[in-house]
């Protein structure tokens, strides 16, 4: 009789061999959080610890992980918490993970764009992806680290080099743009925010963030003036928080909520509950660009279907068209970083 995958891993370990990288069963999902001691990582870890679908929460950072893990482990939810500190412990953190969430990196400060973070964060994502390629090549990878428009291509190129790339398994988390859009629309129109749905397409920076207000549910009418004010507010919402924190950080709490919501969606998909989320993925939804965020159907293999942008207004189509050149510049920068290193 064939041994279950879990037992095969144990046999390999007992025989002194490196355990074969496999995913846990959908009955006991392991989520690895890389950057767990940071400004986003700590509140995101708190939310993931409370997720009843998470069986094992592996926390990784370069410093301070044991304290965060000890704190979270005192919460009376079922997720087992493990701490992993420094590059030597990264393999164990991500090994056999079903979902890997990456908020690692430095945040924005006033006057900085997301692209200004590239020089530091590009190397961080590259190095994390290289270990994931060896330890957990079948994991679903959710990248929060900015600039997302570039870090998703960076991770993808590293996985391609290692021969384990699957475009259905690499995601840029754009959920915060959706969360913000829904909050702002509900506030403006007096809707119940928990029942307001606004898809956001494109990317995750500036003019590449395109809220499809015409597709708002429940069906909502906006004046041209409302659209002209709401769209840039959504696009610049991250800067609004950076400036309000006056050098003390970027959007950490709302990003943690968005990250936890997306991670939960990935786990639900793994468990067979197909659901639709917006995410920045390798996509042919828009001509002339390799990565684009649209609603996608999530399932056991990650992206099951790319649902595209749907019917959009003339104003939204102009924004989509205008985003392509900017996205291509961001993507090319990420690809060149990996190929040049």
For the annotated catalytic residues, the residue numbers are 204
Q: Tell whether residue 249 is among the known ligand binding residues.
A: no
Q: Tell whether residue 146 is among the known ligand binding residues.
A: yes
Q: Tell whether residue 38 is among the known ligand binding residues.
A: yes
Which residues does residue 85 pair with via DSSP β-bridges, in sequence order? 61
Q: Tell whether residue 247 is among the known ligand binding residues.
A: no
Q: Tell whether residue 121 is among the known ligand binding residues.
A: yes
Task: Tell me the torsion sign for CA atoms 48, 54, 265, 202.
Answer: positive
Q: Tell whether residue 40 is among the known ligand binding residues.
A: yes
Q: Tell whether residue 145 is among the known ligand binding residues.
A: yes
Q: Tell whether residue 331 is among the known ligand binding residues.
A: no
Distance CA 123, CA 127 (A): 6
Q: Tell whether residue 238 is among the known ligand binding residues.
A: no
Contact 174, 205 (CB under 8 A): no
Q: Where are the beta strands (DSSP E) in the chain?
A: 30-34, 56-61, 80-85, 99-102, 140-143, 170-172, 200-202, 209-211, 275-282, 291-299, 302-306
What is the DSSP secondary structure assignment for residue 161, as one 8-state letter?
Answer: H
Contact 218, 327 (CB under 8 A): no
Phi, psi of 11, deg, nearest 5: -60, -45
Distance CA 315, CA 76 (A): 49
Give me 114's structure tokens: 């997301």
Q: Tell whether residue 23 is among the known ligand binding residues.
A: no
Collect all residues with Cβ–Cβ distance below 8 Å to 71 and sequence separation of at least 6: none
Collect all residues with Cβ–Cβ distance below 8 Å to 50 and sequence separation of at least 6: 75, 77
Q: Tell whether residue 233 is among the known ligand binding residues.
A: no
Phi, psi of 53, deg, nearest 5: -85, -15
Are β-strands 209-211 and 80-85 bridged in parallel, bridged antiparallel, or unpaired?
unpaired
CA 230 and chain centroid, separation: 24
Q: Tell whether residue 78 is among the known ligand binding residues.
A: no
Alpha-carbon dihedral angle through residues 267, 271, 272, 274, given to the nearest 10 degrees: -20
Phi, psi of 76, deg, nearest 5: -85, 60
- Annotated binding residues for substrate, written as ranges, equal 108, 114, 146, 180
- Annotated binding residues, written as ranges, equal 35-41, 61, 108, 114, 121, 144-146, 180, 255
- Annotated binding residues for NAD(+), written as ranges, equal 35-41, 61, 121, 144-146, 255
């Amino acid at each position: 009789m064939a041994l279950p995958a879990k037992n095969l891993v144990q046999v390999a370990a007992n025989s002194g061999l490196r355990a074969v990288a496999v995913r846990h069963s959908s009955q006991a999902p392991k989520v690895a959080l890389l950057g767990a001691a940071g400004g986003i990582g700590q509140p995101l870890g708190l939310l993931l610890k409370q997720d009843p679908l998470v069986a094992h929460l592996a926390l990784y950072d370069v410093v301070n992980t044991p304290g965060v893990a000890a704190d979270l482990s005192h919460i009376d939810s079922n997720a087992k918490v493990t701490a992993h500190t420094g590059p030597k412990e990264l393999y164990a953190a991500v090994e056999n993970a079903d979902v890997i969430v990456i908020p690692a990196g430095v945040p924005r400060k006033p006057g900085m764009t997301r692209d200004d973070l590239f020089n530091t964060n590009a190397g961080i994502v590259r190095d994390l992806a290289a270990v994931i390629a060896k330890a957990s090549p079948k994991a679903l990878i959710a990248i929060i680290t900015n600039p997302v428009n570039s870090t998703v291509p960076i991770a993808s190129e590293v996985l391609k080099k290692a021969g384990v790339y699957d475009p259905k398994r690499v995601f840029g988390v754009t959920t915060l743009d959706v969360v913000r859009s829904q909050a702002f629309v509900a506030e403006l129109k007096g809707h119940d925010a928990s029942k307001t749905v606004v898809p956001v397409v494109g990317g995750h920076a500036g003019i590449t963030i395109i809220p499809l207000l015409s597709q708002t549910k429940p069906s909502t009418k906006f004046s041209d003036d409302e659209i002209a004010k709401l769209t840039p507010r959504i696009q610049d919402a991250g800067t609004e928080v950076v400036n309000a924190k006056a050098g003390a950080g970027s959007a950490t709490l709302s990003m943690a909520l968005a990250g936890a919501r997306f991670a939960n969606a990935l786990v639900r998909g793994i468990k067979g509950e197909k659901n639709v989320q917006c995410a920045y993925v390798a996509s042919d939804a828009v001509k002339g660009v390799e990565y684009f965020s649209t609603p996608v159907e999530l399932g056991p293999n990650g992206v099951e279907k790319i649902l595209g942008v749907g019917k959009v207004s003339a104003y939204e189509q102009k924004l989509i068209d205008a985003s392509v050149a900017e996205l291509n510049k961001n993507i090319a920068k990420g690809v060149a970083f990996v190929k040049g290193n």
